Amino acid sequence: MSLKSSVRLAFALAVIMGGMTQAHDTPTPKATTSADDPYLWLEDIHGARAMQWVDTQNAATEKQFADSTQFQHTRDQILQVLDSDARIPYVERRGDYLYNFWQDKAHPRGLWRRTTLEEYRKSEPKWEVLLDIDALNKAEGKHWVFKGSDCLKPDYNRCLLSLSPGGGDAVEVREFDIPSKSFVKDGFALPIAKSQVGWIDNDHIYVGTDFGPGSMTTSSYPRIAKLWKRGTPLSAATTVYEGKMSDLAVVASHDRTPGFERDFVSVAHDFFHSDMYQLKDGKLIHLDVPEDAANVDAHRQWLVVQLRNAWTVGGTTYPSGALIAIKYDDFMAGKRHFTTLFAPDAHTALSNYAWTRHHLILDIMDDVKSRLDVLTPKDDGTWARQDMPGAPTFSTVSVVDTDPDNSDEYWLSVTGFLTPSSLERGVLGEGQAQTIKQSPAFFDASKFEVSQHFATSKDGTQVPYFEIAPKHLKLDGTHRTLLYGYGGFEVSLQPFYSGSIGRAWLARGGVYVIANIRGGGEYGPRWHQAALQANRPRAYEDFAAVASDLIKRGVTSPSHLGAEGGSNGGLLMGNMLTVYPQLFGAIACEVPLLDMKRYIHLSAGASWIAEYGNPDDPKQWAFIKTFSPYQNVKAGTTYPPVLFYTTTSDDRVGPVQARKMAAKMQGMGYKNVWFYENTEGGHGAGADNKQSAHMHALAFEFLWDQLK
């Protein structure tokens, strides 16, 4: 069980992509006066005046970009991809069954279902439907969005289901019984909150939730972890650990691996610093690993640590980005002689890793392209290494599931910009993986080619980017080109297949580009740390360098170059708008951070101080203000057309920053500033495929129209 990664992913990410309580449940401190910010009234997320403004903006944007047969065609083309029955139904193994969540035209909110491996191998498997979310909504008069399940090993018959009222990260938790396909009467249940739950045994769970005033951190995550016994009120749950208000979150968990049962508490102080404890015989034993380790993973007899910074211990210095291992019991007894499982170089970084019953699979990026290695621990404490059998090259290959308790089974996702995704299954030691499912081609890839280029940033750093363009592209600067980026939270942008992009952009003659700028994880921690806090502008310089390189090479020109990014990538777009407006012909800015003066007081913003800095500290505000678009936008400047789009139910970044930025620019007299807000969808594009298709089509049509 990966301890720190579970905290980082649960509270990040996604970042952020990669939130938490409903945004309107999070108190929003007021500025000193309305004169400090004349658009504060838009921070009243569900207020009548604010929603009337949203409705007016939506109507204008829809009329301009969605009231055409071309928009309808683009939307329908995207929706066909999202609803296609030929898509791969990705699965997660739980015991003898493979579980899947599926949305399509007939089931817009989705089916939670399962099947056997034998059935899954068939072209049309028979699925056992466990819960129909659309039927549940009809019965209850709700708009639930399925947010996942946690099922009790080893039989997986009891599950804790998470249901969001509008697609945000705040969820209602209910206990579900698989054999009867029903919710458990008087079972474990929690009202809507930013909860964290996990099984201990049939009658006990760990829970972190809103227990009342003072029980959530400033970042709006659970501050207290408790043990809750079946049949008792939540108020009777006993406290396991109580963190500080300034912490990011506290999570307790139980590892049910037979023979290696352990309990842990993770205390995340911020996005990149945590303390780990083993809970044993009622006592907390601190794991003496670096507070800034990226992952700490206790698996059977092993402790594996993924380092974010160099660590000197036991007379050895292990480098930043390394993955190291030691016997768990030896470590707890005070030994510190680790084995290095992976060490990065100038071109490589560890993307991820996954355990099977007897092996460890490493997912390695080499100049942002994938390869897989298999490591096997030996009795003498050393590890054997071999290449993954049959792993294809020049694609993104990732392990999407394993069965570490019982077998060496693994499932691989294989994808590339022009290669429809496939799902492969294999068993280590039994030959190469076999393709089980293959996604159809949603556009004619034979017309295009992929190339990788490197742009030189302002400080001389070489920044890679992928270009997907028509073959034999004439470098005359006339091509509509869409440049996408993220650049934050150590998130890597690797090759992927998108039928939506293929149909809505490439098939119309456009060029699509992915920029692997600093702030991401493409070259490990160093790439991320190079754009932290005061160094954040390096990410923006990198993106501008890629834009300039595309123009210099003749792929496009400023009037034909568009940019798009969401969340942290929305902040990137805000800086392209305000700092580098001369490079772009249009910008699409999705669920963005923009007001960096107030971001820590909006929705879950306080959780990102480690990434950006604390604007309430005057010394830190001195550098934060240099990349705060809301403060830096000025009247009388030539800005490219911009579309801000967001969702009312986004409880991670929240809709108010996009609202205020659009209103401020319009108030300055800028005419080509557009805004659209979907009511549902959380920090994503929509609560169902139809909503997602509408949002994506709106962005594509805006960009295509403005870049003509």
| Whole-number Cα distances in Å, 347 to 305, 365, 398 | 21, 8, 19
Q: How many DSSP H helices and E strands does the chain contain?
A: 15, 39
Distance CA 27, CA 24 (A): 7
User: Are the C-beta atoms of residues 142 and 134 closer than 8 Å to each other?
Assistant: no
Nearest Cα neighbor of 594 from 624, 635, 637 is 624
Q: Which one from 107, 359, 683, 696 is the annotated catalytic residue? A: 683
Residue 34 CB neighbour total at 10 angstroms? 11
| Whole-number Cα distances in Å, 31 to 23, 185, 527, 624, 640 | 18, 46, 35, 18, 30
Nearest Cα neighbor of 661 from 599, 586, 580, 584 is 599
Distance CA 645, CA 642 (A): 10
Distance CA 71, CA 76 (A): 8
Nearest Cα neighbor of 219 from 602, 657, 618, 638 is 602
User: 199: part of which helix (H) or strand (E)?
Assistant: strand 196-201
Six token digits for residue 482: 């869409």
| Whole-number Cα distances in Å, 2 to 206, 300, 376, 582 | 17, 12, 18, 45
Residue 259, judged by CB atoms within 10 A of its CB (0-12, 13-18, 19+), counts as exposed
Nearest Cα neighbor of 595 from 36, 194, 49 is 36
Task: Concatenate the DSSP letters of all residues of 366-409 into one string.
Answer: ETTEEEEEEEEE-TTS-EEEEEPTTPPSSSEEEEEEE-TTT--E
Nearest Cα neighbor of 192 from 173, 175, 207, 211 is 173
Distance CA 64, CA 53 (A): 17
Distance CA 308, CA 286 (A): 19
User: Are the C-beta atoms of residues 577 and 587 closer than 8 Å to each other?
Assistant: yes
Interstrand relation of 481-484 and 224-229 (parallel, antiparallel or unpaired)? unpaired
CA torsion 138-143-147-153 (nearest 10°) is: -30
Cβ burial 452-473 (10 Å sphere, 16+ → b, else e): ebebebeeebebbbbbbbeeeb
φ, ψ of residue 197 in degrees (nearest 5): -130, 155
Residue 65 CB neighbour total at 10 angstroms? 23
Distance CA 407, CA 412 (A): 15
Local structure of 628: helix, strand or coil? coil
User: Are the C-beta atoms of residues 680 and 647 closer than 8 Å to each other?
Assistant: yes
Local structure of 269: helix, strand or coil? strand
Distance CA 600, CA 220 (A): 11
Give catalytic status of residue 683 as yes or no.
Answer: yes
Alpha helices in 412-483 (DSSP H): none
Distance CA 638, CA 636 (A): 7
User: Are the C-beta atoms of residues 597 and 625 closer than 8 Å to each other?
Assistant: yes
Q: Which one from 413, 567, 607, 649 is the annotated catalytic residue? A: 567
Six token digits for residue 132: 């129909």
Known catalytic residues are 567, 683
